[in-house]
Amino acid sequence: MPTKSNNKNIVLHQNPTQKDTYYKFRNFDNMEYLLDIFLNQRLYAARFDRLNDPLEGYYNASSYENILVNNIRNSKLSLRICSATNKYSITGEGNNNFDNIYNLYNWIFYSNSGKGFAIEFEVIDDKDVETKEIKYLEKNNYLNTIKNKIGEIKSKIKQAKIILTHKVELFKNECEIRLFKKVNSNEKHAFVKIKIKKIYLGYDINETKKSIINAIIDNYNICQSSETKIEIEKIKRDILIDKFLELNLWISSK
């Protein structure tokens, strides 16, 4: 059962019945990377210090010996991370599910204000990948909570994952999950193998970029069976706004 929050803007909790399906919101900044996603059915997994949050992996190490701090950092560097969004969120007790494809925050911040797209996918190499839901903490309690949690366990890799699966409440509306892949620290590249189920075109995508996505997917689908073909759907602005407003009205009534 999801816990209630005093902050009514914070709505998102993972629905365990839908834990195997995720969304990746993307823009068109790197065409080489986008082609790799579609043609090779994989997502890039980055080091923690290559992610877009300047406080990523930050923790208060003042009370730890330097050797412990270095060990935890080395463990973090041995992990590769791919961030995504859980497909469904529970917005209240019971099965009140909200489909995060209508999560306006993610379209704005990760898909260039609806000018990009979102990928619905499943993880294929799940034996090599561990999925963790991000837990969000109040800013004032963040560092103490992290310090207490890592102090309870001895495994450096587990300590690293605790640090990398907690963020401040500012980011809670993202409903983020993280796919962890363990690698040798000197490996430059790591990928998570996926099965793309559907592509959602952004509500403000231009015709040129829309035609690029359609051409890539049409070419891919030629050699696929009906079960493995990738669907394409364009998100309509009015439906997106209606569903998001409906969600926030529900929250404000609680």
Segment 32-74, tens digit of pLDDT: 888 999 989 999 988 777 666 544 444 444 444 343 455 556 6
Q: Please tell me the predicted confidence (pLDDT) of residue 56.
A: 45
Categorize the per-residue pLDDT at 200 as very low, low, confident or very high, splitting at 50, 70 and 90: very high
Q: Please tell me the predicted confidence (pLDDT) of residue 91.
A: 54
Q: Cα–Cα distance between 57 and 167 in angstroms, integer?
A: 9
Strands (E), the chain: 22-26, 42-44, 79-86, 88-90, 97-99, 117-123, 129-133, 135-137, 166-168, 176-182, 191-201, 231-234
Segment 128-144, tens digit of pLDDT: 899 999 888 888 888 88
The share of the chain scoring above pLDDT 70, in percent, equals 75
Give yes or no for residue 14 having a pLDDT over 50.
no
The encoded tokens of residue 223 equal 């050699």
Closest CA to 51 of 176, 231, 223, 141: 176
Categorize the per-residue pLDDT at 107 as very low, low, confident or very high, splitting at 50, 70 and 90: very high
Please compute the mean of the pLDDT values over residues 153-169 and round it to a whole number.
83
The pTM of this model reads 0.81
Q: Cα–Cα distance between 254 and 251 in angstroms, integer?
A: 6
Q: Please tell me the predicted confidence (pLDDT) of residue 74.
A: 66
The share of the chain scoring above pLDDT 90, in percent, equals 37
Please compute the mean of the pLDDT values over residues 136-162 and round it to a whole number.
83
Amino acid residing at 116: G
The encoded tokens of residue 188 equal 């430059």
Give yes or no for residue 210 having a pLDDT over 70.
yes
CB 87 within 8 A of CB 21: yes
Q: Cα–Cα distance between 252 and 254 in angstroms, integer?
A: 5
Dihedrals phi, psi of 230, to nearest 5 degrees: -95, 130
Q: Please tell me the predicted confidence (pLDDT) of residue 100.
A: 92
Among the listed ranges 48-57, 110-119, 156-165, which one has the minimum average pLDDT value? 48-57
Give yes or no for residue 29 having a pLDDT over 60.
yes
